[in-house]
Amino acid sequence: MHNRKETLYGIIFFAFHLCIEVVSYMLLYLKYGTYVSAFITLIYDFFAFVPQVLIGEIHNKHKTWNIGFIGIIFFAIAVVLIKAENDVIYLLTILFLSFANAILHECGAIAVASVSKKNIFPSALFVSGGTIGIVIGRYFAEANFSINYLFIFIIIMLIILTVTDKTWCRNDVSYINVNIVNVDTGKIVIFLSAFFVLVVRSFMGFVLPLAWKVSFLHTVLLSLFLGIGKALGGYLCDTIGYKKVTFISTILCVPFIVFGNKFMILSLIGIMLFSMTMSITYAMLLSIIKNNPGVAFGITTIGLFVGVLPLLFVSPSDSINVMVIVILSILSYITLIRVIK
Amino acid sequence: MFLDLLPAKDINFDPYNKSETTIRVENDNKENNKVSKIAPATLIVAFLVIVAVVVIVAVTKVVNKELRNA
């Protein structure tokens, strides 16, 4: 069902995404150690997540431009500037870091969408690389690794961009063509449904009850299962269908998450199932925004940003979290099942 | 005249019996420090807010256009 080229691209851009997050998160956590201030997080998240739609649109208008090279330059500048003690220069570094992150995410999403014809699995593979990269980047920062190592990751990204350039930077490129929604529902309703679920899932991802997570090894396991879930979700969407995966990722995951608060294995299974939703919402947007995967992917990242926003200002307690998880999961299921074919 | 040119911390004085000139120099330094710290921060936040608003408007336009075209 999945051809070799699209799976290969999925794997290559899994590594690409991993490199993006290693560089971003090591630089982000380098100054603050284990805790990054809400103000810096807000700036970083906004400029890394929200402008991706614009980058997708720029690429759509100038398809032969490999905008990824600008992202690489921004990353290199950020690595050099991060050593500066001045607060103004530090903020400038965060801006370079955010824009580099946004540009390179878009390149990965567009490149994978240009080789995949109907399957969402390669895109899911690409996305799953990020969760692993985040934990590696944070570890590098906390263990005080030399930032010079980051140039290895930057060079890997540069090589991937150069090698794949001919595939996705062409005027006659065609993109993934999925159609998983009832178009009769109306494009605005489908868009709002996908966006609502994206925001809700992003929010839920940060309020999951994880009493068992007390060490760095637990964080590694959590990221690993999140990554596996994202990739597996894409594979299952292509093989057993989007409706079944919708049920698995919104309803079936709930008991595992709720009762897994103190039981790591249960919780990890629940989180793996929970993270499968990503492929569904991305495919919904690809179904209504044809021939512009950059914009479709950018909308998903805006949803992630909006979902995180409330948590920069409040932190709900565990008992409230369980209620919120149950209610939002049911709402997500109802919202998705009404528009998916 | 000479005291006006010196920073307050370099002046040898009894802290409970400050001269009028010393107090004035200390206050001037405090004011200068306040101005030099606040101004860049305010400018940066204002700049970021403006850029953020421009980004949000542009993103809304692109998404709106794509949904109408689709």
Query: End-to-end alpha-carbon separation of chain B, Å?
Result: 76
Domain-embedded: residue A178: no
Distance from CA of B40 to the nearest CA of A (A): 8
A135 and A220, same structural domain? no
A321 and A187, same structural domain? yes
Q: How many CA atoms lie within 13 A of A15 on its CB side?
A: 15
A189 and A112, same structural domain? no
pLDDT at B39: 64
pLDDT higher at B22 or A188: A188
Residue A192 has pLDDT above 50, yes or no: yes
- Token output for A125: 């593979």
CB atoms within 10 A of CB A32: 12
pLDDT at A340: 93
A86 and A109, same structural domain? yes
Phi, psi (deg, nearest 5) at residue A84: -65, 145
Residues in CB range of A9: below 8 A, 6 or more apart: A111, A112, A115, A116, A122, A164, A167
pLDDT band at B30 (very low <50, low <70, confident <90, very high): low
Distance CA B40, CA A151 (A): 31
A197 and A148, same structural domain? no
Place of tokens 């914009």: A295
- Sort out which chain A residues have CB atoms less than 8 A from B58's CB and list them: 54
A282 and A187, same structural domain? yes
Place of tokens 């109408």: B68
Domain-embedded: residue A94: yes
Distance CA A320, CA A227 (A): 26
Q: Does A187 touch chain B (CB under 8 A)?
A: yes
- Please identify among residues 241-300 of chain A the ones whose CB lies closer than 8 Å to any CB of chain B: 288-290, 292, 295, 298-299
Q: Is A51's CB within 8 Å of B59's CB?
A: yes
Q: How does pLDDT run across A238-276, given as a tens digit for each residue?
A: 999 999 999 999 999 999 999 998 899 999 999 999 999
Q: How does pLDDT run across A196-225, given as a tens digit for each residue?
A: 999 999 999 888 888 888 888 999 999 999
Distance from CA of A235 to the nearest CA of B (A): 26
Among A178, A187, A284, the residue to mutate for chain B (most B Cβ within 10 A):
A187
Distance CA A71, CA A66 (A): 10
Domain-embedded: residue A143: yes
Distance CA A57, CA A80 (A): 29
A203 and A102, same structural domain? no
Last residue of a domain, one of A118, A137, A168: A168
Domain-embedded: residue A177: no
pLDDT at B13: 45
Among B38, B59, B60, the residue to mutate for chain A (most A Cβ within 10 A):
B59
pLDDT at A274: 94
A136 and A216, same structural domain? no
pTM score > 0.90 for this model? Answer: no
A324 and A209, same structural domain? yes
Phi, psi (deg, nearest 5) at residue A50: -75, -45
Domain-embedded: residue A176: no
pLDDT at B38: 52
Distance CA A29, CA A81 (A): 14
A132 and A267, same structural domain? no
pLDDT higher at A71 or A208: A71
- Asked whether A293 and A53 are in contact (CB, 8 A), the reply is no
Domain-embedded: residue A316: yes
- Token output for A129: 């690389």
Q: Is A91's CB within 8 Å of B44's CB?
A: yes
Into how many domains does chain A fold?
A: 2
- Sort out which chain A residues have CB atoms less than 8 A from B70's CB and list them: 187, 288-290
Distance from CA of A207 to the nearest CA of B (A): 27
What range does the domain containing A156 cover?
4-168
Mean pLDDT of chain A: 91
CATH of the domain at A264: 1.20.1250.20
Residue B52 has pLDDT above 80, yes or no: yes
pLDDT at B8: 45
A269 and A320, same structural domain? yes
CB-closest option in B40, B48, B55 to A54: B55
Domain-embedded: residue A100: yes
Domain-embedded: residue A227: yes
Among A39, A46, A49, A177, the residue to mutate for chain B (most B Cβ within 10 A):
A46
pLDDT at B1: 37
Q: Is A54's CB within 8 Å of B40's CB?
A: no
Using CA coordinates, name the residue in chain A closest to B39.
Answer: A88
Distance CA A248, CA A272 (A): 10
Of A341, A163, A164, the residue nearest A243 (C-alpha): A341
A202 and A57, same structural domain? no
